[in-house]
A = this chain, B = another copy of it.
Amino acid sequence: MPTVRDVAERAGVSIATVSFVLNGSKPVTPATRQRVEAAVAELGYHRNELARALASRKTRILALAHPTAEHRFGSSTTDFITSAARAARARGYHLVLWPIDTDGQEIHDLLGQGLVDGVVLMEVKLDDPRVDALAASGTPYALIGRTRDPAGLVHVDIDFDRSVADALDHLQDLGHREIAFVTAERPGYGPKVRSEAAYRRLCAERGLEPLLLECAPTAPAGQGLMPRLVERVTAVMLMNEYAAFGVLTGLARAGLGVPDDLSVLSFTSPDMGALADPPLTTSHSPGAELGSLGVHALIDQLEGIEPSAPRLVPCTLVPGQSTARRP
């Protein structure tokens, strides 16, 4: 790999002059600048970014800390991670992956290595020892998700109030009044707790009778809800993407059909919803957008840019063929 010395020789200038041009640290004549830039291009010279980073006491490396076992609903985690890495690169940063346990010790040890300028923490829990470890470390961070009381914390998250309201709107517009909500068994999981609270509040405001159920995140568990559920409601929303498939199977086995006997709305990706028969009406979480927003919020903080208000982004409802007018 060519060195700064090679560039200086090729351009016929001193190493210091090359440095002046590359760092813009001292004015040089246009002719000299041109010679240096030509030599850089001809040799394919790149500065040693790491040495430069150390000199500035910044590594320009960020960590994306994510749980090792994780079940993000309704969105591909890959989209999320890819989008975060691209956002970092667009602003001149690299993103390292830290798959970590949820107890706080692992992130504490990693922070102690001094490698990263900041951390984006995914899948934040309502009570999260990793957030405490971050706060104690003094390392800047941004959260994807929220603790129980996120006031003052830089975070981005799904707008659960709006997402549940949009789903209810869709079903109410079709004439449904008895609308169940099925989540996955996962105590203390923010998205579950917040969306259940939104559902209860909205049912109260709209004069609907809430029917809140939970089951394991599997197709057989969803199947087990049928056909009993049909006796109580005409529509169901599921924040449990695997169970949604089981609901269809369970209905079919009972000789019932979607959407004739039950309207089904699933919080999942449209790709996943398209695998069902009939294709599901879906509401998908803004995974890629949150990945990018989280990284930008962190970098703004690192670069002293005034923080914008915490961003809450709603899920996007995509009508399929599994919801229809109330019979």
Contacts and interface: CB of A to CB of B under 8 A. Distances in A.
Contacts of A98: 85, 89
A46 to B, nearest CB: 3
A166 B138 CA distance: 54
A97 B95 contact: yes
Contacts of A220: 274
Interface stretch (A108-116, A192-200, A231-239): A108-116
Nearest to A137: B1
Interface of A: 1, 44, 46-51, 54, 59, 61, 64, 66, 68, 70, 76-78, 81-82, 85-86, 89, 94-99, 109, 112-115, 137-138, 218-220, 242, 245, 248-249, 252, 271, 274-277, 279
B114 A275 contact: no
Contacts of A44: 112
B274 A242 contact: yes
Contacts of A242: 271, 274-275
Given A95-B96, A96-B97, 10 more contacts: A1-B114, A44-B112, A49-B115, A64-B97, A68-B86, A85-B99, A94-B115, A219-B277, A219-B279, A245-B277
Contacts of A49: 113-115
Given A81-B78, A275-B219, A61 B96 contact: yes
B114 A97 contact: no
Contacts of A245: 275-277
Contacts of A50: 50, 54, 59, 113-115
B86 A99 contact: yes
A1 B60 CA distance: 19
A315 B197 CA distance: 43
B96 A96 contact: yes
Nearest to A85: B97
Given A49-B115, A68-B82, A274-B242, A96 B99 contact: no
Contacts of A95: 96-97
Nearest to A278: B249
Nearest to A54: B54
A113 B46 contact: yes
Nearest to A249: B277
